[in-house]
Chains A and B, each alone.
Chain A
């Protein structure tokens, strides 16, 4: 069989990526956990015993029931209930869905901004480069979380609570995406600077291609692997940022909770002994972030974007 006749799947199975994945137990375990969590989140409406958004299904008499196995639990609520009597398992499934959606959306937005600005800064250089990178430096020195908190605060103050609650998902994607673009822009810029010196770019220039075409069709595809690595880690960061914002009351409202707002609403009841409302969503959040980070570490080792640094 020649290479040309290999299907895409066969090519993937012979790739170094698949080879190193098969040999790395941590990566396999993380991948399985992540995929099952993503699937559970996607199919939350089918899997969840109750619909937490449906007020008719909530009974306040069921509030603060402990998980199964503890005194006073109810088998109908395997992980117990929260302070409003919502089934905790269902709210966690829906909450993971919201958190993943925001994390993914924010990374798509910051990748779009980061790739655009990184390409412009790296390829055009000069004044464009120094202005864009100065902005990135300042934003990073303030820490992305601080920028996100400030932007969130301003939005909340200008939209008001109710309005903010309704469009919170889009707001959070926007806030986190805008506050974290410098991370990706820096990576892209560094690899563009390395690619720019190679012959194929000179060849493209000699052939008279326009700058835009060289940037997006020639250089961009060659910088994708570091972008891929950093985007993976950034999903974990975005999920943490979302949880932090929600915990501060600048994120998802309690009627449509993410993992962060579940932790926040449970924290008010921890002193009364109902630890499960806050600690079980917290555990889910930590596992989610941890497996994404571990996969990111593995990807970085395999693709080794360290070559592009500098």
Chain B
């Protein structure tokens, strides 16, 4: 176990090193901090002096070591646009993104487990086929399009008048297909509850939760089909195994067999894949936050790109890279812990 731990952690450090080199290369290749600091009104000699003083003429390796040293202490430079340390800017925006991810994860867990289990137990039922069909279509719809359709239906509202108004059934169909709209589709609202000082949460007020609904559903929509399929496939495989047949032969009730014996072993691979997928969700938060103008790190990153705010772009890369590496490493370690058959050499198993 110790060898596994050391191997995984050293690998994580190596990946983090590569990410920091890439981030440094971007900073070095794209930004001229001097230009941003002093503008046009400083003479060439003074520029050279400042350049020397800031160490911009040092060899690249020296500059990188300084960059990495500062980064280790949480100092990733100062944002051009916000005029304050990039880490502060990111930490301000992080709670909004985290709440979005939490909301989406809740939706995924609540819906994927029952649907996946049902589809595995009764693969021939029309409801299972319906869910599988919907999930095939769901995979083909990009997340930003789901978000736009949700906005049209639940925020702007749809008025249907295709059916004749004079007939009773026409009126009923028109009313059934029309939607009121009215759900908020912009930002987080102003009804936020402060938590632990700087964290403002939308989970504790009606307005906050209403603002969370559409963005979380959109973000969940991209992962939900994947999880339903995964749970179904794993569960079907588990149901074939000998110990399930034995449990049935012993005369245990089928709900006990399904939910106690089978589900436990189904969830093991699902949790590991799930951990990695939640990391991947970060990429999709950029899209979701853009559609809903959600003030999280994804929108902040995109704005930093349009403003050419290089230090903020670089800081975002480092922070997101760290989040990815930590989730992947922790998931690997948990997997190694709960499933001792995993080989010490890792991937070669």
A interface list, Cβ under 8 A from B: 133, 137-138, 141-143, 145-146, 149-150, 153-154, 156-158, 236, 240, 243-244, 247-250, 263, 267, 270-271, 273, 275, 278-279, 282, 285-286, 289-290, 293-294, 297
Residues of B140-181 whose CB lies within 8 A of A: 140-145, 148-149, 151-152, 156
Using A153-B305, A157-B310, A249-B306 as known contacts, say yes or no to A270 and B151 having CB atoms under 8 A apart: yes
What chain A residues lie within 8 Å of B26 (beta carbons)?
154
Q: Is the CB of A244 within 8 A of B144?
A: yes
Bound CA span A285–B137, Å: 12
Using A141-B276, A146-B283 as known contacts, say yes or no to A270 and B290 having CB atoms under 8 A apart: no
What chain B residues lie within 8 Å of A250 (beta carbons)?
305
Q: Is the CB of A149 within 8 A of B310?
A: no
Bound CA span A297–B229, Å: 14
Q: Is the CB of B347 within 8 A of A137?
A: yes
Bound CA span A273–B159, Å: 11
Bound CA span A290–B137, Å: 7
Chain A proximity of B161: nearest CB distance (Å): 11
What are 9 A-B contacts with C-beta separation under 8 Å? A146-B282, A153-B313, A158-B30, A236-B140, A244-B142, A247-B287, A248-B290, A279-B152, A282-B149
B139 at the interface (CB under 8 A from A): yes
Q: Which residue of B lies closest to A249 (CB)?
A: B306
What chain B residues lie within 8 Å of A247 (beta carbons)?
142, 144, 287, 290
Bound CA span A240–B142, Å: 6
Q: Is the CB of A154 within 8 A of B30?
A: yes
Q: Is the CB of A143 within 8 A of B283?
A: yes
B interface list, Cβ under 8 A from A: 15, 18, 26, 29-30, 136-137, 139-145, 148-149, 151-152, 156, 276, 279-280, 282-284, 286-287, 290-291, 301-302, 305-306, 308, 310, 313, 317, 320-321, 324, 328, 347
Q: Is the CB of A267 within 8 A of B282?
A: no
Which 6 interchain pairs have the tightest Cβ spacing? Answer: A146-B283, A143-B280, A290-B140, A289-B140, A145-B283, A153-B305
Bound CA span A282–B151, Å: 14
Chain B interface, DSSP helix/strand/loop, else mixed? helix
Using A157-B310, A271-B156, A282-B149 as known contacts, say yes or no to A263 and B144 having CB atoms under 8 A apart: yes
What chain B residues lie within 8 Å of A141 (beta carbons)?
276, 279, 324, 328
Chain A proximity of B13: nearest CB distance (Å): 13
Q: Which of A133, A153, A240 has a CB less than 8 Å from the CB of B347?
A: A133
Q: Which residue of A lies closest to B280 (CB)?
A: A143
Using A154-B30, A158-B30 as known contacts, say yes or no to A279 and B148 having CB atoms under 8 A apart: yes
Choose among A157, A248, A290 the residue with the greatest number of B CB atoms under 10 Å from its CB.
A157
What chain B residues lie within 8 Å of A263 (beta carbons)?
144-145, 148
Choose among A153, A156, A250 the residue with the greatest number of B CB atoms under 10 Å from its CB.
A153
Q: Is the CB of A244 within 8 A of B305?
A: no
What chain B residues lie within 8 Å of A149 (beta carbons)?
283, 286
Chain B proximity of A30: nearest CB distance (Å): 11
What chain A residues lie within 8 Å of B284 (beta carbons)?
145
Chain B proximity of A224: nearest CB distance (Å): 25
Q: Is the CB of B30 within 8 A of A243?
A: no
Using A141-B324, A250-B305 as known contacts, say yes or no to A286 and B283 having CB atoms under 8 A apart: no
Using A271-B156, A286-B140 as known contacts, say yes or no to A244 and B347 having CB atoms under 8 A apart: no
Known contacts A141-B279, A142-B321, A153-B301; 8 further A-B pairs (Cβ under 8 A): A149-B283, A158-B29, A250-B305, A263-B145, A282-B145, A282-B149, A286-B137, A293-B139
Q: Is the CB of A285 within 8 A of B18?
A: no
Q: Is the CB of A248 within 8 A of B286?
A: yes
What chain A residues lie within 8 Å of B287 (beta carbons)?
244, 247-248
Bound CA span A280–B317, Å: 35
